[in-house]
Structure 1
Amino acid sequence: MNNLAIKTNEMKKYLLINGEKVETENYAPLYSPYSQEKIADIAMADKELTIKAIDAAHEARQLIGGMPAYKRAEILENVVLLLKERADEAAEIISLESAKPLMFAKAEVARTVETYKFAAEEAKRIHGEMIPFDAAVGGVGRIGYTLREPIGVIGAITPFNFPLNLVAHKVGPAIAAGNTIVLKPASQTPLTALFIAELFAEAGLPAGVLNVVTGPGSVVGEAIVEDDRVSMITFTGSPDVGIGINNKAGLKKTTLELGSNSALIIDKDVEIDGIIDRCTMGAFSNQGQVCISMQRVFVHEENYEEFITKFTEATKQLKLGNPLDPETYVSSLITKGELERAVSWIEETKQSNAEILTGGKVRDNVLEPTIIANADQSLKVSCQEVFAPIVIVNQVKSLEEAVELVNDSRFGLQAGIYTNNVKNAFYASKNLHVGGVIINDVPTFRVDQMPYGGVKDSGTGREGIKYAVEEMTELKLVVWNQG
């Protein structure tokens, strides 16, 4: 691990445009969120270089769009093999630049392998359907069918929290569907994106199909969103930025995976001992920097005392520290600014009737996992996306009250419920206003083939390879007149 740190400390990174490494006039230092040591110098693209990347993607459209499905699948399968071989290296890069603890970074790499496997499989089953034209009087004598065609150039803007797998959720289906990509990774995690782009080149992806442009969102992101040759924007990030993209995108297709303050309901008949480990993971994995992190918990009053006691005890056992230590569970937030914001939100709760059960302090640049009880719905830790190792726990008298509190939010990505009552499970699945209801698990559950996306301010469109392919293709109707 130290060897990697020494190696990366000397790196001067580049843009990847049309298969070539492109130097820039300006570079920005990249620092480890945990140690604050310099990792690398990152190329800062300007508008002109971003347009060159779009040029390359636009020119390569017919190359990838005309490639047989089995060849696109073969390239994705080659990436799977290469990523498996370099899994440890990929996990260390993730940990180094994002401070994601190594145990979770390794899990992300394993998931990414699956994501590209799914993409390879989906490349071979993109199809349309026959239309029964003679079901209409005017359709007699005609047959028709639909095709799915590549949409063209896709602008992909990805976040820091899953720098390998959330890139895969955009690049994988884009290539499976025969599209080209201009990828702008998060400013804090460019190394992971450049790493996977190198694997794609080695796997046989033609030049120009995947272009990686690093730099400020106000320059690179704006140029991608505004260019008429970009047919679709797929973005994962904050609601404010997503709304701005939507406003500027015009008639471009958009898939926007935005924020949440995901909630868990714990019904009165639940055995608490059996759910504590999952709740700990749901609240504190990757420092709570997960779109579906378990941020709010509503516990039936009969189970409330037992739950907060055992949940607090388990949380106090989590190891804090260096993300490259295999035993570390919680490390640093992505930036000092995020740490300061999270601490200020905790301080706000001290002016209310809320009670901090554990955590709330900063230790060696790491925010302790924090549990807050009796938090009012109007507090920032409740009504906004906290994106930090902070969870609130409130007691409720009924399932109906819990569902009402979960829905009292501008967000609606995923929610979970633990219950042994089938009627209550059905009630929750019908009445929770979210994109996904997870029964007998935390809202943080995700596997990579499932449809994933939300309602309200949590975004538009769905990811999950099959569903992303549908978003990244255009439906064409063909009608034959037999008469």
Structure 2
Amino acid sequence: MLQEVLESARSDGPMAAPAFIEGQWSRDGTLTERTGPHLRKVVTRFASATDDQVARAVEYAARSAKTVADLAPASRATILERAAELAAAHRDDIARMIALELGKPLKDGRGELDRVADTFAVCAGETRHIGGDVLPVAGWARGTGNTAMTYRAPAGVALAITPFNAPANLLAHKLGASFAAGNTTLVKAPPQAPATTTAIVALLLEAGMPPEAVQLLHGGGDVGAKLCAADEVAVISFTGSAETGAAVARAAGAKRLVLELGGNAATLVCEDADVAHAAKICARTGYSNSGQSCISVQRIYVHRSRFDEFVDVLRAEVATLKVGDPLDPATDVGSMVDEDAATRVEKWTAEAAAQGARVVLGGTRDGATLHPTIVADPAADATIVVQEVFGALVAVLPFDDLGEAIEACNRSRFGLQAGLFTHDVRTIINAWRDLQVGGLVVNGSSNYRLDHVPFGGVKDSGFGRESPAHMIDDYTVVKTLILRGMSVWGDR
């Protein structure tokens, strides 16, 4: 199936995106189409899952859990290593699929596939380290003469619900870590990227993942809600908006949840910063994937003494970005996920200008393509400051005192990740302590992530941490064994 899916991406017609249910590829269901935001024509046809297919998939997952759990960690690791090699080998084809379905530039899609390969490789490495502990029970009198041990056992059935903005790598994180832990996984694909999701699942099956280990269903929120509510599901990993995350939690009930939700990430540029370097980094990371990232640079707080200088350099850097055809390898900024998304950001820009902000660059769109936009000195309560923009817009605000800037950052209901440009160690420590975020990037923007490093937020940005090691903890349960009357510690 992998070759069929990849070949369909090279043709002029719609791409193939079958579901994978009960160990079989299927095109049954309600026919749905995905229109590419740049080409403005149907690029993928897929079948949304029916209620019967959801029920059968859940039942099959429950029956398959033991089969997957019985696969030794070394065997699972070998499969994930093969998947990493296949991701690298098919990098360009899958990047093209992403460009067609989402308008994401080829250079960004290729970078995402590089990360997919890394993520599978890291998952493989973590698989080889899954173990347990011998507990110090003899340290207390009541434990004398006994031995106690633990190991991390598979949770059973996992559900992975992935977003459109990084459909390949975020699926690699969720499905790779779940399989590493020994689970069977139900994947609910984003309707904006069905073919890309199919390609990653097919790639894993090609690498040797047993069919019992994964099922893929297409559809909208109704399919996701039914899967979340299924009693057989033990753990859910969801990436998406805060509002949808709350709906997932309500539908799930008493299940283990890992929720990576939204953000309106801030980056602070201090008085001692290298302004040229900071502006260049913010220009590159504020508009990659058209700003459609939960940690994309959205708010930049700049010390007032450097504010005008920063805005001028940022404008010059952003003006060099090439906007246009996502299939052109030179393009830096493609289209947003759809025209409605671009229209929303265009409207928010106009609202900020009406409140007194200065639109330094952009503010207009061509269909789903929003021209990279810089808004200087918006009101503190402007929508582009308070809400998650999730688009090709960066707001720049001045500050006089770093403590006040940190307070402004913390007034957000989100708290995912922040950036900080400074050379002062005390400032770094204070910001790390006081910013209400899950991660701080120093001398880099908010939009930087290493796939083997813990990633996640606080407040409405969710809970749990996404990195293979931490996700394996979430995808497993601790099982304890107590040996009474047998001790490795001594009996007296």
TM-score (norm 2): 0.95
Shift of 1:377: 2.2
Shift of 1:209: 1.1
Shift of 1:4: 6.1
In structure 1, C-alpha distance between the alignment counterparts of 2:367 and 2:250, rounded to whole Å? 41
Aligned to 1:55: 59
Matched, 1:411 2:442: no
- 2:387 aligned to which of 375, 381, 384: 384
Label 1:459 to 1:213 Cα distance change in 2 as closer, same or farther (>3 A): same
User: SS state of the match for residue 320, structure 1?
Assistant: coil
Shift of 1:410: 0.1
Alignment of 1:362-373 (within 5 A): 362-363=365-366, 365-373=368-376
Instruction: Specify the code of the residue in structure 1 equivalent to 2:210.
Output: P
Alignment of 1:9-88 (within 5 A): 9-88=13-92
Label 1:144 to 1:255 Cα distance change in 2 as closer, same or farther (>3 A): same
Alignment of 1:305-324 (within 5 A): 305-324=308-327
Instruction: Specify the code of the residue in structure 1 equivalent to 2:69.
Output: G
User: SS state of the match for residue 277, structure 1?
Assistant: helix
Contact 1:19 / 1:201 at 8 angstroms: preserved in 2? no
Aligned to 1:224: 227
Instruction: Specify the code of the residue in structure 1 equivalent to 2:139.
Output: A
Matched, 1:451 2:454: yes
In structure 2, C-alpha distance between the alignment counterparts of 1:106 and 1:85, rounded to whole Å? 11
Per-residue Cα deviation, 1:171-210 (whole angstroms, up to 9, x for no partner): 0100000001110111010111111111122111111211
Matched, 1:399 2:408: no
Aligned to 1:337: 340
Matched, 1:237 2:255: no
Per-residue Cα deviation, 1:425-448 (whole angstroms, up to 9, x for no partner): 111011001101111111111010
- 2:186 aligned to which of 182, 187, 190: 182
Per-residue Cα deviation, 1:75-134 (whole angstroms, up to 9, x for no partner): 111111222221111111111111111111000000110000001111110111121112
Aligned to 1:115: 119
Per-residue Cα deviation, 1:3-37 (whole angstroms, up to 9, x for no partner): 86562624453211122111224211111111111
Aligned to 2:468: 465
Label 1:166 to 1:8 Cα distance change in 2 as closer, same or farther (>3 A): farther
In structure 2, C-alpha distance between the alignment counterparts of 1:5 and 1:246, rounded to whole Å? 35
In structure 2, C-alpha distance between the alignment counterparts of 1:349 and 1:174, rounded to whole Å? 43
Matched, 1:254 2:257: yes
Instruction: Specify the code of the residue in structure 2 equivalent to 1:326.
Output: P
User: SS state of the match for residue 129, structure 1?
Assistant: strand
User: SS state of the match for residue 401, structure 1?
Assistant: helix
In structure 1, C-alpha distance between the alignment counterparts of 2:484 and 2:423, rounded to whole Å? 57
Contact 1:17 / 1:208 at 8 angstroms: preserved in 2? no
Matched, 1:95 2:95: no
Matched, 1:206 2:232: no
In structure 1, C-alpha distance between the alignment counterparts of 2:15 and 2:393, rounded to whole Å? 35
Aligned to 2:283: 280
Instruction: Specify the code of the residue in structure 1 equivalent to 2:327.
Output: L
Instruction: Specify the code of the residue in structure 1 equivalent to 2:163.
Output: P
In structure 1, C-alpha distance between the alignment counterparts of 2:43 and 2:98, rounded to whole Å? 12
Contact 1:27 / 1:44 at 8 angstroms: preserved in 2? yes
Decide which moves more: 22-31 or 87-96: 22-31
Instruction: Specify the code of the residue in structure 2 equivalent to 1:236.
Output: T
User: SS state of the match for residue 158, structure 2?
Assistant: strand
Q: List structure 1 segments (4+ residues) > 4 angstroms apart after TM superposition.
A: 2-6
Shift of 1:39: 1.1
User: SS state of the match for residue 324, structure 1?
Assistant: coil
Contact 2:274 / 2:421 at 8 angstroms: preserved in 1? no
In structure 2, C-alpha distance between the alignment counterparts of 1:238 and 1:191, rounded to whole Å? 22
Instruction: Specify the code of the residue in structure 2 equivalent to 1:387.
Output: F
Matched, 1:420 2:423: yes
Per-residue Cα deviation, 1:289-340 (whole angstroms, up to 9, x for no partner): 0010010010011111110000011111111101000111111110121112
In structure 1, C-alpha distance between the alignment counterparts of 2:387 and 2:227, rounded to whole Å? 28
In structure 2, C-alpha distance between the alignment counterparts of 1:137 and 1:269, rounded to whole Å? 58
Decide which moves more: 52-61 or 412-421: 52-61
Shift of 1:420: 0.8
In structure 2, C-alpha distance between the alignment counterparts of 1:8 and 1:185, rounded to whole Å? 23
Instruction: Specify the code of the residue in structure 1 equivalent to 2:63.
Output: E
In structure 2, C-alpha distance between the alignment counterparts of 1:4 and 1:357, rounded to whole Å? 42
User: SS state of the match for residue 43, structure 1?
Assistant: strand
In structure 2, C-alpha distance between the alignment counterparts of 1:65 and 1:8, rounded to whole Å? 42
Contact 2:162 / 2:190 at 8 angstroms: preserved in 1? yes
- Unaligned 5+ runs, structure 1: none
Shift of 1:287: 0.2
In structure 2, C-alpha distance between the alignment counterparts of 1:39 and 1:292, rounded to whole Å? 28
Instruction: Specify the code of the residue in structure 1 equivalent to 2:297.
Output: M
Decide which moves more: 466-475 or 359-368: 359-368
RMSD of Structure 2 on Structure 1 (CA)? 1.4
TM-score (norm 1): 0.97
In structure 2, C-alpha distance between the alignment counterparts of 1:450 and 1:444, rounded to whole Å? 14
The alignment of Structure 1 onto Structure 2 pairs a total of residues equal to 481
In structure 2, C-alpha distance between the alignment counterparts of 1:321 and 1:106, rounded to whole Å? 17
Per-residue Cα deviation, 1:439-475 (whole angstroms, up to 9, x for no partner): 1111111010010100000001111000000011001
In structure 1, C-alpha distance between the alignment counterparts of 2:17 and 2:372, rounded to whole Å? 34
Instruction: Specify the code of the residue in structure 2 equivalent to 1:357.
Output: V
Per-residue Cα deviation, 1:252-304 (whole angstroms, up to 9, x for no partner): 10000000000001110011122222111221110000010010010011111
Aligned to 1:156: 160
Aligned to 2:437: 434
Contact 2:158 / 2:178 at 8 angstroms: preserved in 1? yes
Per-residue Cα deviation, 1:32-57 (whole angstroms, up to 9, x for no partner): 11111111211111121112111222
User: SS state of the match for residue 478, structure 1?
Assistant: strand
Per-residue Cα deviation, 1:387-420 (whole angstroms, up to 9, x for no partner): 0011110110121111111111000000111111
Contact 1:18 / 1:209 at 8 angstroms: preserved in 2? no
Label 1:63 to 1:267 Cα distance change in 2 as closer, same or farther (>3 A): same
Label 1:151 to 1:116 Cα distance change in 2 as closer, same or farther (>3 A): same
